[in-house]
């Protein structure tokens, strides 16, 4: 037996690939589906409350609990099967029931979820649906007659899927009971697991469609806010060119606009990113169904192309516009800084020229003072030299005045030479 050490997460990540199996459904059957989104963002969700809500439902039927911290559950509750999944932003519940209600899409089909239990859900319903699965013998007229009775003709989407093993249909409208309706007509030779996969794909298409559409109202709200900011930004950029406003005023206004745009960007980044991810999942789930046209009806992909994709393009265009406006504000700030730097450079140049003039005046004044200093120092030096020379004045028969007159020129020259030497040494 191998003694190599396993990575601590080896079994956890391997088992995760098999943790969410597709249900195996016998035909005929029906399913009730609900997706609940917490009122907070994904980072602040109370997952303990969501798990407690699941346990409350399981306790009503005496069903064994999942392990602590579980993110999925599939098991028997009474006569039905429950599939629970905890996603990044929401939790989903699907209850599968054998047999069909006498009245198609009867509101009582959702009574498998206790009313008081739904009322205490830790969040709000983002979508819910009823799915009806019938056996189909291959007669297109039978399917056409039923879907014409069950769905609105203007938004009906219907197609053959998975190599003509089934027909799916919906109108993506909320009925009077508050639920979406999905119909699935299955050929007799289609296996139970394939039926389960189709039902799972339909619930995923609806869930991811609903979640991706959350970005559309946000995009419309941002469009109005950006529409109010854009003229102000254009005006500020014009002021940079015309110079009609002071840099201080322009900088203050530009900082305000930049802060607004950064705030909008920070508050919408997650929602727009999630919208793009959910949109990709919607198209992926439709692709794996391998649709073919049924009785001239529009397919799911055509419905999404006409109704869903324009909303997604609006979201993407709004996101691009927000990033572009933020970049424009940044460039305007760079231009303003460049303008201020150029202005400061000119001011510094003028300041240096002024300092040069003052230094030149100071030098001239210093030279003037230096001349006066020579005179003053020479005056005192001559006096001292006279006192030293008085004793020799008598033998030389010289008067005091004559002696001072003789001493004055050499003393002045000596003082001037000393001062000049000192100044040169300092320079």
**pLDDT bracket for residue 234 (50, 70, 90):** confident
Residue with tokens 């939790």: 91
Radius of gyration of the chain (CA): 45
Can you tell me the mean pLDDT for 5-28?
A: 83
Read off the pLDDT of residues 294-344 as tens digits, 9 standing for 90 and up. 999 999 999 999 999 999 999 999 999 999 999 988 888 887 777 777 777
Residue 109 gets which letter from DSSP?
G
Read off the pLDDT of residues 130-156 as tens digits, 9 standing for 90 and up. 999 999 988 899 999 999 999 999 999
pLDDT > 60? residue 1: no
Residue with tokens 């303003």: 336
Length in residues, the chain:
427
* Cα distance between residue 398 and residue 69, in whole Å: 122
**Residue 282's closest CA among 212, 193, 381?**
212
**pLDDT bracket for residue 396 (50, 70, 90):** low
**Residue 312's closest CA among 210, 215, 171, 415?**
215
Q: What is the pTM of this model?
A: 0.79
* Cα distance between residue 338 and residue 112, in whole Å: 68
pLDDT > 70? residue 403: no
Read off the pLDDT of residues 152-178 as tens digits, 9 standing for 90 and up. 999 999 999 999 999 999 999 999 999
Domains of the chain: 21-198 (no CATH), 215-350 (1.20.58), 361-426 (no CATH)
* Cα distance between residue 109 and residue 180, in whole Å: 13
**pLDDT bracket for residue 76 (50, 70, 90):** very high
């Amino acid at each position: 037996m191998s003694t190599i050490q396993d990575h601590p997460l080896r079994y956890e990540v391997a088992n995760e690939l098999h943790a969410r199996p597709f249900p195996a459904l016998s035909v005929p059957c029906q399913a009730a589906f609900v997706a609940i989104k917490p009122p907070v963002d994904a980072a602040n969700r109370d997952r303990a409350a969501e798990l407690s809500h699941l346990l409350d439902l399981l306790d009503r039927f005496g069903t064994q609990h999942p392990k602590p911290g579980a993110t999925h559950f599939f098991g028997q509750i009474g006569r039905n099967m429950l599939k629970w999944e905890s996603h990044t932003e929401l939790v989903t519940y699907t209850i599968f029931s054998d047999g069909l209600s006498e009245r198609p899409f009867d509101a009582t089909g959702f009574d498998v979820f206790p009313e008081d239990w739904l009322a205490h859900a830790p969040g709000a319903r983002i979508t819910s649906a009823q799915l009806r699965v019938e056996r189909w013998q291959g007669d297109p007229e039978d399917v056409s007659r039923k879907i014409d009775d069950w769905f609105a003709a203007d938004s009906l989407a219907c197609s053959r899927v998975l190599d003509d093993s089934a027909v799916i249909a919906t109108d993506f409208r909320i009925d009077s009971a508050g639920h979406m309706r999905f119909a699935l007509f299955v050929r007799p030779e289609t296996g139970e697991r394939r039926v389960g996969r189709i039902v799972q794909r339909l619930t995923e298409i609806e869930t991811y469609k609903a979640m991706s559409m959350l970005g559309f109202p946000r995009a419309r709200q941002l469009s109005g806010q950006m529409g109010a900011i854009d003229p102000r930004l254009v005006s500020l950029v014009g002021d940079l060119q015309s110079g009609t406003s002071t840099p201080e005023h322009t900088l203050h206004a530009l900082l305000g606009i930049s802060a607004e745009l950064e705030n909008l960007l920070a508050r919408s980044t997650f929602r727009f990113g999630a919208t793009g991810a959910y949109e990709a999942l919607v198209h992926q789930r439709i692709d794996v169904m391998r649709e073919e046209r049924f009785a001239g009806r529009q397919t799911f992909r055509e419905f999404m192309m006409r109704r869903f994709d324009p909303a997604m393009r609006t979201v993407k265009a709004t996101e691009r516009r927000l990033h572009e406006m933020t970049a424009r504000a940044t460039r305007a700030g760079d231009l303003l800084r460049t303008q201020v730097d150029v202005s400061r450079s000119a001011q510094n140049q003028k300041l240096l020229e002024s300092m040069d003039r003052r230094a030149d005046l100071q030098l001239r004044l210093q030279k003037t003072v230096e001349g006066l200093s020579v005179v003053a120092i020479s005056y005192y030096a001559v006096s001292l030299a006279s006192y030293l020379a008085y004793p020799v004045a008598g033998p030389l028969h010289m008067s005091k005045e004559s002696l001072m007159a003789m001493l004055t020129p050499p003393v002045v020259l000596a003082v001037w030479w000393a001062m000049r030497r000192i100044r040169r040494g300092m320079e």
